[in-house]
Structure 1
Amino acid sequence: MSRIVLGVGASHSTLMNTNWDEVAHRDDARRFRAGLGEARELVEAARPDAVVVIGSNHFRGFFLDLMPAFTVGVAECVGSGESGTPGGPLPVDTDLARKLMWSLSDADFDAAFSLRLQVDHGITHALQYLLPDLDVPMVPVVMNMFAPPLPSLARCDAFGTVLRRAIESDGQDKRVLVVASGGLSHRLPWPKWFSAMSDDDRFLVEAWLNGRDSWKDYEVRRRQIIRAAEADINPEFDRRFLELLLEGDLSEIVAKSSAEIEEEAGNGAQEIRSWVAMSRALGAAKGRVLAYEPIDTWITGMAVAVLEPLPGT
């Protein structure tokens, strides 16, 4: 049977690509990037045959005309290529992806699937820094983390259980890496789609609804809005989350509602759903935090952590 050999959680920020010169002199930014480098070395040592990447989509592949809670890419997958992230066709492990879809269906998950999935940095940022050669086939899993109502944290936890079962029952002998992309605490200047008030709010909702064939037309103003936002990071929340992750028990977090997460750690913290699913898929594991830095310039609590399955699990 196939097995999970390593789990990695990594925050993402396209500002690390487009505005690195602004922070290259700062110790916190260098420490975070060094943490990604250490994680990349661990990935190389784990020799994965496939990688499952769980992340979000920032309205460059999914839009308000159709927003599934969970989507698995089972065939063609294309990176948007925004802000210096990988663009164009990405390799997909179609066999493992289809196995995951069947396992989700058998577990009464009504997940969507796509034979032509477009992903943005919610998936590709992790690939760029952990698997820069893009030579390991992946299974992209996109969770809705920005357009409420969101899948509950408990549902994302259950997704991790099904993912583990799918990998272990695929009839293959693959070494599988599971990557969680996104988080931790941060607050984006994004409105609720049902309560847009300011001109910027209405512009963003229009972009999220009508951008399927023209998302690039909205990019300049979108980035201006994000760059103008003040950082709202909660290091206490982040450090507690990482502590629980290493303890192997995220039940304290999973019990929280989406509203509680947003109030405590910002709407961007909803991306911890990917970490919750990854942790559950790993099961009993030993973990390390390779970096945690609340980087105001990137408006995000930036973390890198790894989980290694305990022998015999």
Structure 2
Amino acid sequence: MTEIVLGVGASHSTLMNTHWDQTIHRDRAERFRDALFAARDRLAAARPDAVVLVGSNHFRGFWLDLIPSFTIGVGECVASGESGTPKGPQRVDVPLARQLAASLVDDGFDIAFSARLQIDHGQSHAVQYLLDGLDVPIVPLVVNVFAPPLPTLGRCAGLGTALRGALLAAPGDARIAVIGSGGLSHRLPWPDWRDPHGEDEEFLTRAWLDGRDNWQLYDARRRQIIRAAEAAINTDFDREFLSWLEHGTAGRLTGFTTEQLADKAGNGAQELRTWLIMAAALDHAPAEILGYEPLPEWLTGMGVAVLDPARGHE
């Protein structure tokens, strides 16, 4: 019988790779990094046979010519390798991925699939830090969190529940871990692609539309625009969300609309859809918070949590 043995939620930031020496709050950064390493050790101890890796897209693997709400990689998977993250082919558990895709469709989710998927740091950051040294294949699941209209938070929770059912019904006796990569609160200087204002927003929208074959040509200016942004971290929201995870009530996030979540915690908080899917796949087992650090240099509230179903519900 297939078993879900662990869930992990973790923030990501490529600035860990590119601007570590410019990080002012080095003590916070080191504590966050140590929390990632601790989560990596928990994953190693759980001995998963495969990892369902739920992450976001930052317009390096998907572009505005086609943006599905949910996409599962069922064949080749290549990481774009931006900002010092892993680059090149990633090992996919193809039979499990295809079984999950079929099961989710049967369960009423018109999920897209890709036999040649390109991912970016929305998932490869987790490969770099959480799966470092672990010889384990992934099943990549990409969630649209930046190109409105976005899937509702309720739909994401439902997908997590359906994913749980699909995993538990999978043939064999595999041990599966689920990772949600993204968040917490942060605001990126990214436009609503439907109504860009000013030179920078028009440039970004054009990059998102035209970047499929040459995204690297846009990357330097993209980074400049992001680095010029001011941090907008809501520590109260972050701590409240982490408390919900601790008490197995992360489903409360579905009470937010997309607009309300952006107002409360920034457009980057839309990535919490990945945590919500992971938590629902773990049946909202109570989480252990391994770390939380607000890092304005990285524009983001950085958190790490582990959900161990062996702990049971309190």
TM score, norm. by length of structure 2: 0.97
Report the AA paired with residue 309 of structure 2: P
- Could you say which residue in structure 2 is the equivalent of 1:27? 27
Question: Where has structure 1 moved over 6 Å in runs of 4 or more?
Answer: none
1:250 Cα deviation from its structure 2 partner: 2.1
- Could you say which residue in structure 1 is the equivalent of 2:14? 14
Instruction: Determine if the alignment matches structure 1 residue 114 to structure 2 residue 114.
Output: yes
- Could you say which residue in structure 2 is the equivalent of 1:257? 257
Secondary structure of the residue that 2:176 maps to in structure 1? strand
- Could you say which residue in structure 1 is the equivalent of 2:125? 125
Paired-residue identity, %: 59
In 2, Cα distance between the equivalents of 1:47 and 1:104?
25
Point out the more displaced range, 14-23 or 130-139: 130-139
1:133 Cα deviation from its structure 2 partner: 2.9
- Could you say which residue in structure 1 is the equivalent of 2:82? 82
Report the AA paired with residue 160 of structure 1: G
In 1, Cα distance between the equivalents of 2:272 and 2:59?
18
Point out the more displaced range, 16-25 or 162-171: 16-25
Q: In the comparison of the two structures, how many residue pairs are matched? A: 313
In 1, Cα distance between the equivalents of 2:82 and 2:135?
20
1:161 Cα deviation from its structure 2 partner: 0.8
Instruction: Determine if the alignment matches structure 1 residue 141 to structure 2 residue 135.
Output: no
Q: 1:284 touches 1:310 (CA, 8 Å); kept in 2? A: no
- Could you say which residue in structure 2 is the equivalent of 1:209? 209
In 2, Cα distance between the equivalents of 1:198 and 1:104?
41
1:56 Cα deviation from its structure 2 partner: 0.3
In 1, Cα distance between the equivalents of 2:72 and 2:14?
23
- Could you say which residue in structure 1 is the equivalent of 2:195? 195
Distance 1:45 1:69, change over 3 A: same
- Could you say which residue in structure 1 is the equivalent of 2:154? 154
Stretches of structure 2 lacking an aligned partner (at least 5 in a row)? none
Secondary structure of the residue that 2:286 maps to in structure 1? strand
Report the AA paired with residue 223 of structure 2: R
Stretches of structure 1 lacking an aligned partner (at least 5 in a row)? none
- Could you say which residue in structure 1 is the equivalent of 2:289? 289
Task: Give CA deviations for 1:13-67 in whole Å, capped at 9, x if unaligned.
Answer: 0000011112287211111001001111111111110000001010001000000
Q: 1:18 touches 1:83 (CA, 8 Å); kept in 2? A: yes
Secondary structure of the residue that 1:54 maps to in structure 2? strand
- Could you say which residue in structure 1 is the equivalent of 2:91? 91
1:252 Cα deviation from its structure 2 partner: 2.3
- Could you say which residue in structure 2 is the equivalent of 1:100? 100
1:177 Cα deviation from its structure 2 partner: 0.8
- Could you say which residue in structure 2 is the equivalent of 1:223? 223
